[in-house]
Amino acid sequence: MGRRSRLAAATISAVAVVSASLTAIGNAAPAGDAHSWATRTMRGMTLEEKVGQLFVTYAYGRTADTPHQANRDEFGVATPAEVVQKYHLGGIIHFNWTDSIYEPKQIAELSNGLQRAAVTSGAKIPLLISTDQEQGQITRIKEPATQLPGNMALGAGRSPADAERAAVITGQELRAMGLAQNFAPSGDVNVNPANPVIGVRSFSSDPALAAELTAAQVRGYQGYGAVTASVKHFPGHGDTNQDSHEELPVIEHDRQQWEALDAPPFRAAIDAGTDTVMSAHIVVPKLDDSGEPSTLSRNVLTGMLREELGFRGVVVTDSLQMEGVRHKHPDAEIPVLALEAGADQLLMPQHLQVAIDGVIGAVRSGRLTEKRIDQSVERILRMKAGRGVIDRPFVDVSKVDRIVGSPRNLEAAQKITDRTTTLLRNDAAVLPLRQPPGRVLVTGAGASPTKALAGSITARGSQATALETGMKPTPQQIDQAVQAAGQNDLTVVLTNAAWNEANASQRDLVRALQRSGKPVVAVAVRDPYDAAHVDEVPTWLTTYSDKAVAMESLARTLFGEIAPVGKLPVPVPDPTRPGTDRYPFGHGLSW
């Protein structure tokens, strides 16, 4: 009997599936014996199969068997299933732009099809299927999946129970659709208001609050949520005004600052048992003088994360397509450097075949030992077995609609969001509205939130009109909004990152509306920092989110159905007085 036959005889058993029509044979892991199963399975794998397990990437198409030209162009095969089989992939990540995400049943069927491809080829090991469902700003799967307002809103709510429940909801719905790894939550402490890449993805500028809620979400995702949490972005991406998607940020924190500001959420996540930690494409020269991004730094990933913080789980890189990690190395070298640094999962290389060939070549040349590859593969296999992916790779498509966006989850999400709206200023005592205004104009940034809020206001007896003016309203759009305001009894104007100079015309819109003579309520629907940039308006709120669920909570607040109980999880600096806060951490009015 050959090596492959012995492997099959030793480790392949029937995979329990939830539909009689969906039966497969896979590499099943005995319950409670993930470690020994992973070791035995790894020993029977070829080098190519082991290296394939390290990689997580995307494939194009709404079903596993859908031919897609982008697959042919990028991977040399037609279908997502063939991508999985060709490269012996350990994981697949879903995005909207890969034509992978349409509606829950479709996602579940796609996931099942990809798993079928994985368990009937190569080492017969099921995939970790993943996405970035952070909630709030970074939400890949939209309605009917339950929508939540995101981390900074949860920070405003100050409730670990709400943070945990939000993660349970998201985790359960992802698992119902066949996804078992969520690249969330962000444990970054957003101490820089000009941060272009984190912002409301962070729970707070306060390390203790961020740590408490990060740990709560790890428990939620990995407990009843039943998916792998991936706390990011180590060693901390909160104090930068650069975007690592476009360039390599430099953070000047010294060891004392890192210990006080950045480390607490990661320590808390590790103590809570997070399966995965994601690396950041940033340089922190006072912690590591190599000049390499943290993803490629042994001092950071092995020295700080594993040896100092004691992390024993899987280290996943941020996307290897980002410029922050590609700025000085060829694509074949990047995954090798990441493995040398201590990474395990290699996410989305720019050229998958080049990346795989680079790793295999490094092993065959002796630069990387096969023992080093085995260490990462064993961690990944243990994680798969521990999350039940090996024993239960398939999902019951007939149950998806009863779980995803269920009335219970929607109700819980609304209650969580109701506890996050923050009233920053109410100088004119406009709020709460004592009776429904006759006509209300809802204008500002975002077609979806203006429409959603107008609908919620109309449902309360007013005649509300939505007039979306975009992120960068033109003088003509501002004039149109002012004219419309004159025909209404109240204007609610939504701002989105108006603090950013690129969006400064949003401030012009708010000021022009205030001069219209009609009452104006301004609402920052992302970062709360907008409120300090237009001090002329006496009524400001912030929701930290432009999701419909946040707009419903906003409407409830406007009409006095609920009191605004959110407290700022970050200070709002005064742009005219450096070093002074216009609204301090913890600020929040109520009635």
Sign for the CA dihedral angle at 284, 288, 289, 291 comes to: negative
* 518 in any annotated domain: yes
pLDDT attached to residue 17: 34
DSSP 328-346: SS-TTTHHHHHHHHT--BE
* Residue 353 φ then ψ, to 5°: -65, -40
* 92 in any annotated domain: no
The CATH number of residue 551's host domain is 3.40.50.1700
DSSP 37-101: HHHHHHHTS-HHHHHHHHEEE----SSTT---HHHHHHHSSSSHHHHHHHHT-SEEE--TTTT--
pLDDT attached to residue 459: 98
H helices of 260-389, where?
263-271, 298, 323-326, 334-341, 352-365, 370-386
Integer CA distances (angstroms), 304 to 123, 211, 294, in order: 34, 18, 10
* 100 in any annotated domain: no
CA distance 484 to 29: 64
* 463 in any annotated domain: yes
DSSP H or E stretch at residue 495: strand 490-495
Strand partners, 463: 439
pLDDT attached to residue 6: 37
* 20 in any annotated domain: no
Check if the beta carbon of residue 155 is closer than 8 Å to that of residue 421: no
Please confirm, yes or no, whether 262 is among the known catalytic residues.
Answer: no
DSSP state of 121: S
Integer CA distances (angstroms), 513 to 269, 441, 454, 494, in order: 45, 11, 17, 12
Which is the catalytic residue, given 132, 188, 318, 530?
Answer: 318
CA distance 173 to 106: 14
Q: Which of 194, 204, 269, 208 lies closest to 234, judged by CA?
A: 269
User: Which residue positions in the chain have pLDDT lower than 50?
Assistant: 1-26, 31
* 130 in any annotated domain: no
pLDDT attached to residue 327: 82
**pLDDT of 449-500, one tens digit each?**
999 999 999 999 999 999 999 999 999 999 999 999 999 999 999 999 999 9
Integer CA distances (angstroms), 57 to 11, 339, 589, in order: 26, 17, 46
CA distance 40 to 198: 41
CA 219 to chain CA mean position, Å: 16
* 313 in any annotated domain: no
Strand partners, 542: 422, 524
* Integer-rounded Cα radius of gyration of the chain: 25
Integer CA distances (angstroms), 456 to 98, 109, 449, 464, in order: 33, 34, 10, 9
Q: Which of 65, 66, 48, 95 lies closest to 347, judged by CA?
A: 95
CA angle, residues 145, 146, 147, in degrees to nearest 5 = 110
Please confirm, yes or no, whether 94 is among the known catalytic residues.
Answer: no
Q: Based on the structure, what is the number of domains in the chain?
A: 1
For the chain, how are helix, strand and coil distributed in percent, rounded to 5?
Answer: 40, 15, 45
Q: Which residues constitute the domain of residue 541?
A: 414-583
Question: Model-level pTM?
Answer: 0.94
Integer CA distances (angstroms), 162 to 188, 267, 373, in order: 19, 21, 39
The 3-state secondary structure of 159-228 reads CHHHHHHHHHHHHHHHHHCCCCEECCCECCCCCCCCCCCCHHHCCCCCHHHHHHHHHHHHHHHHCCCCCE
Which is the catalytic residue, given 35, 65, 243, 245?
Answer: 245
* 234 in any annotated domain: no
CA distance 467 to 477: 9
Tokens linked to 453? 């809020």
